[in-house]
C-alpha cells in the first residue's frame, strides 16, 4: 500500500510527542499497529489492564494527535494506526 504524504505542523508534532510519552499509551499504539484486524477498546483493555474510562481517555489522546483512526460501528470502535502520520513523525524526528 502506498501512503499519501502527511505534513506535520508544530502543534501536531508536539501532540504526538506527548502522546508517546506515556508508556501505557505507547503500548496501546503498538498493539493497534500490530493487530491485523482493527482492535476494539475491550480488546485493548484486556491486554493493558486498565479501566474502560482510562482506555477511552488514552484513545482520545491518540486520536487528537492524529495517530489513530477510529471507526465507530454500532457498539464497537475499530482502531487503526494512521501510518502516513507515523511515517511523517519519524521523518521529522530523523531530521533533528
Partner DNA sequence: TCATCATTTCGATAGGTATAGAAATGACGA
Partner DNA sequence: TCGTCATTTCTATACCTATCGAAATGATGA
The footprint of a second copy (CB under 8 A) covers 10, 14, 17-18, 20-21, 23, 26, 29-30, 33, 86, 90, 93-94, 96
Q: Residue 12 is placed in which grid cell?
A: 501536531
> Nearer Cβ to a second copy, position 53 or 96?
96
Residues 85 and 67: beta-carbon distance below 8 Å: yes
Positive or negative, the Cα torsion across 42, 31, 62, 77? negative
Residue 55 beta carbon to DNA: minimum distance, rounded to whole angstroms: 7
Rounded alpha-carbon distances, angstroms, from residue 35 to 14, 31, 39, 50, 80: 26, 6, 7, 19, 9
Q: Residue 61 is placed in which grid cell?
A: 489522546
- Residue 35 interacts, among DNA, a second copy, none and using kind-specific CB cut-offs from 5 to 8 Å, with none
Residue 4 beta carbon to DNA: minimum distance, rounded to whole angstroms: 25
Residue 93 beta carbon to a second copy: minimum distance, rounded to whole angstroms: 6
- Residue 90 interacts, among a second copy, DNA, none and using kind-specific CB cut-offs from 5 to 8 Å, with a second copy
Amino acid at each position: 500500500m502506498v501512503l499519501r504524504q502527511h505534513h506535520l505542523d508544530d502543534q501536531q508534532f508536539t501532540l504526538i510527542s506527548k502522546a508517546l510519552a506515556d508508556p501505557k499509551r505507547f503500548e496501546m499504539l503498538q498493539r493497534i499497529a500490530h493487530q491485523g484486524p482493527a482492535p476494539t477498546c475491550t480488546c485493548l483493555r484486556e491486554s493493558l489492564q486498565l479501566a474502560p474510562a482510562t482506555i477511552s481517555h488514552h484513545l482520545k489522546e491518540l486520536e487528537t494527535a492524529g495517530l489513530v483512526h477510529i471507526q465507530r460501528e454500532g457498539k464497537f470502535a475499530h482502531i487503526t494506526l494512521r501510518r502516513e502520520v507515523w511515517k511523517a513523525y519519524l521523518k521529522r524526528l530523523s531530521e533533528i
